[in-house]
Structure 1
Amino acid sequence: MKDTQISGEATDLDENRTGRAEDGRLVGADRVLAVLKELARYPDGVGLDEMTRVIASPKPTVHRALGTLRRAGLADQDDQGRYVLGDEFLRMAFAHHEARPEHVRIRPVLETLAARFGETAHFAVLDGREVVYRAKVDPPTGAVRLTSTIGGRNPAHATGVGKLLLAYQVDTVEAVEKWIGDEPPVRRTPRTLCTAEALHREFETIRGQGYAIDDQENEVGVNCIALPVYTTSRVVPSGAVSVSALTYRTSPQTLVDAVDDIRRALGHLGAA
Structure 2
Amino acid sequence: MKDTQLSDEATAPDEGKADRGEEGRLVGADRVLAVLKELARYSDGVGLEEMTRVIASPKPTVHRALSTLRRAGLADQDDQGRYVLGDEFLRMAFTHHEARPEHVRVRPVLETLAARFGETAHYAVLDGREVVYRAKVDPPTGAVRLTSTIGGRNPAHATGVGKLLLAYQLDTLEAVEKWIGDVPPERRTPQTLCTAEALHAEFQTIRGRGYATDDQENEIGINCIALPVYTTSRIVPSGSVSVSALTYRTSPQTLIDAVDDIRRALGHLGVAGR
The two structures share one fold, judged by TM-score above 0.5: yes
**Higher mean C-alpha displacement, 165-174 vs 54-63:** 54-63
Superposition deviation, residue 19 in structure 1 = 4.6
Q: Does residue 1:271 correspond to 2:273, yes or no?
A: yes
Indicate the residue corresponding to 1:224 in structure 2: 224
Cα deviation digits, residues 104-148 of structure 1 (max 9, x gap): 111111111111111000000111111111111111111000000
Indicate the residue corresponding to 2:254 in structure 1: 254
- CA gap of 1:262–1:19, structure 2 versus 1, over 3 A, is farther
**Higher mean C-alpha displacement, 169-178 vs 57-66:** 57-66
Q: Counterpart amino acid of 2:173?
A: V
Contact 1:2/1:79 (CA < 8 Å) preserved in 2? Answer: no
Q: Distance in 2 between matches of 1:225 and 1:68?
A: 44
Matches within 5 A, 1:35-74: 35-74=35-74
Two-structure CA RMSD over aligned residues (Å): 1.6
Q: Distance in 2 between matches of 1:67 and 1:193?
A: 45
SS at match of 1:6: coil
SS at match of 1:143: coil
Superposition deviation, residue 69 in structure 1 = 1.6
Superposition deviation, residue 185 in structure 1 = 0.7
Q: Distance in 2 between matches of 1:167 and 1:36?
A: 34
Q: TM-score, normalised by structure 1?
A: 0.93
Superposition deviation, residue 72 in structure 1 = 2.5
SS at match of 1:269: coil
Superposition deviation, residue 5 in structure 1 = 4.9
Indicate the residue corresponding to 2:3 in structure 1: 3
SS at match of 1:92: helix
Contact 1:211/1:227 (CA < 8 Å) preserved in 2? Answer: yes
Superposition deviation, residue 73 in structure 1 = 2.1
Indicate the residue corresponding to 1:114 in structure 2: 114
Q: Counterpart amino acid of 2:45?
A: G
Q: Distance in 1 between matches of 2:24 and 2:214?
A: 38
The runs of 5 or more residues in structure 1 that have no matched partner are 21-25
Contact 2:6/2:63 (CA < 8 Å) preserved in 1? Answer: yes
Cα deviation digits, residues 76-113 of structure 1 (max 9, x gap): 12232111111221122112111211111111111111
Q: Does residue 1:14 correspond to 2:16, yes or no?
A: no
Cα deviation digits, residues 160-202 of structure 1 (max 9, x gap): 0000001011111111111111111110001001111111111
Indicate the residue corresponding to 2:156 in structure 1: 156
Q: Distance in 1 between matches of 2:19 and 2:74?
A: 26
Indicate the residue corresponding to 2:96 in structure 1: 96
Indicate the residue corresponding to 1:179 in structure 2: 179
SS at match of 1:256: helix
Q: Distance in 2 between matches of 1:125 and 1:181?
A: 21
Q: Distance in 2 between matches of 1:18 and 1:170?
A: 38
Paired-residue identity, %: 85
- CA gap of 1:142–1:271, structure 2 versus 1, over 3 A, is same
Indicate the residue corresponding to 1:145 in structure 2: 145
Q: Counterpart amino acid of 2:181?
A: G
Indicate the residue corresponding to 2:208 in structure 1: 208
Superposition deviation, residue 66 in structure 1 = 1.1
Q: Distance in 2 between matches of 1:78 and 1:211?
A: 48
Q: Counterpart amino acid of 1:171?
A: D
Cα deviation digits, residues 29-71 of structure 1 (max 9, x gap): 3332221111011112111012122223221221122122223
Q: Counterpart amino acid of 1:129?
A: R
- CA gap of 1:64–1:227, structure 2 versus 1, over 3 A, is same
Q: Distance in 2 between matches of 1:182 and 1:251?
A: 35
Q: Distance in 2 between matches of 1:214 and 1:236?
A: 21
Indicate the residue corresponding to 1:193 in structure 2: 193
